[in-house]
């Protein structure tokens, strides 16, 4: 099946058996009142980051002051970087209208899991650098779920629409089921109008950190790579408009 011809309704019609990144307490931890407190806390976090304090110490300090849950603290950590980091990352960002003809290096698990979380109806966190990040917390374990196929279809559709030259997916070899995911990507890629490679690497972050045209939301990679594209956000904003996004910045960087 040619994924470029799949209707948006077909992508959204997914089995609800598995909800990647879902937490039953999110309605309480990210209520309107909670978000107001989280936004104030993030302002304080960025102020401290700009003065050289370590994020782990800051989260412990600010999280304790506001008595935030572990999940709220994780959200703050994933949503916050220093003003200098934000500026550097945005300077290296490739606009969507300039992606045509470029070869992309894709942080496979990062992109796919983010989309699986969005398809599951779970929340995503918008960082002050403009990246959408999940809070699935898989930590070395992964299994294909009923949202994986839809995520891959979305990726294929977007890569074709952007008219990229080709794509190389890098997957963490030590992560469980990475081989199975590689096979599924290659099966889907047979219907994409671009050449696709999938590589299992012991440490993809080290490889991606040295490249241009990287598709990731990983903070460490973003700080080190030569250029990047905000592919997950591009897909979600255009294909999954009902995604629950927690915006602690009250703004959407371009």
How do residues 129-141 score in pLDDT, each as one tens digit?
999 999 987 777 8
**Higher-scoring residue by pLDDT: 10, 74:** 74
Question: Considering the domain boundaries, does residue 26 fall inside one?
Answer: no
The pLDDT value recorded for residue 177 is 96
pLDDT at 250: 57
pLDDT the model gives residue 138: 74
Asked whether residue 146 is domain-assigned, the answer is: yes
Query: Is 190 part of any domain?
Result: yes
Nearest to 169 by CA among 237, 234, 88, 113: 113
CB 188 within 8 A of CB 154: no
Q: What is the pLDDT of residues 10-52, one digit of tens each?
A: 334 334 468 999 999 999 999 999 999 999 999 999 999 999 9
Residue 254 has pLDDT above 50, yes or no: no
CA distances (Å), origin 87, targets 54, 124, 213, 222, 254: 19, 22, 18, 11, 12
141 three-class SS: coil
Number of domains in the chain: 1
Q: Please check the confidence at residue 253 and state whether its pLDDT lies above 60.
A: no
Predicted confidence (pLDDT) per residue in 164-218, tens digit: 999 999 999 999 999 999 999 999 999 999 999 999 999 999 999 999 999 999 9
- Residue 65 in any domain: the answer is no
Whether 48 maps to a domain, the answer reads no
Collapsing DSSP to helix, strand or coil, 5 comes out as helix
Mean pLDDT of 96-123: 97
Q: Which domain holds residue 242?
A: 3-17+90-247
Prediction pTM value: 0.90
Residue with more model confidence, 42 or 251:
42
- Provide the 3-class DSSP secondary structure of residue 174: coil
Q: In 3-state terms, what secondary structure has residue 104?
A: strand
What average pLDDT score do residues 58-75 get?
97
Specify the pLDDT at position 110. Answer: 97
According to DSSP, the residues that pair with 93 across neighbouring strands are 228
**pLDDT tens figures, 139-161:** 778 999 999 999 999 999 999 99
Mean pLDDT of the chain: 91
d(CA 171, CA 77): 24
Beta-bridged to residue 126, according to DSSP, are 132, 247
DSSP assignment letter at 105: E
Residue 75 domain flag: no
Q: Which ranges of 127-230 would DSSP assign to H, the alpha helix?
A: 148-162, 178-189, 204-208, 219-224
For the chain, report the end-to-end CA distance as a whole number of angstroms.
33
| Average pLDDT estimate for 93-102 | 96
More confident residue, 5 or 175: 175
Is the separation of the CB atoms in 253 and 233 below 8 Å?
no
**Residue 121, domain member (yes or no):** yes
């Amino acid at each position: 099946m040619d994924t470029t011809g799949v209707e948006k309704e077909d992508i959204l019609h997914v089995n609800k058996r598995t909800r990647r990144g879902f937490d039953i307490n999110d309605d309480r931890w990210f209520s309107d009142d909670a978000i107001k407190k989280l936004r104030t806390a993030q302002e304080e976090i960025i102020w401290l980051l700009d003065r050289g304090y370590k994020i782990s110490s800051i989260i412990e300090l600010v999280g304790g002051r506001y008595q935030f849950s572990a999940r709220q603290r994780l959200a703050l950590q994933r949503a916050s970087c220093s003003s200098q980091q934000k500026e550097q990352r945005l300077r290296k960002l490739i606009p969507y209208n300039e992606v045509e003809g470029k070869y992309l290096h894709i942080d496979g698990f990062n992109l796919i899991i983010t989309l699986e979380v969005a398809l599951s109806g779970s929340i995503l966190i918008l960082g002050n650098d403009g990246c959408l990040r999940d809070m699935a917390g898989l930590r070395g374990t992964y299994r294909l779920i009923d949202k994986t196929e839809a995520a891959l279809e979305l990726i294929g559709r977007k890569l074709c629409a952007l008219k990229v030259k080709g794509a190389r997916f890098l997957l963490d070899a030590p992560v469980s089921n990475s081989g199975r995911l590689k096979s599924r990507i290659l099966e889907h890629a047979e219907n994409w109008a671009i050449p696709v490679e999938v590589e299992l690497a012991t440490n993809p972050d080290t490889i991606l950190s040295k490249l241009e045209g990287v598709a990731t939301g990983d903070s460490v990679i973003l700080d080190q790579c030569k250029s990047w594209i905000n592919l997950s956000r591009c897909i979600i904003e255009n294909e999954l408009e009902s995604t629950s996004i927690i915006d602690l910045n009250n703004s959407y960087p371009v």
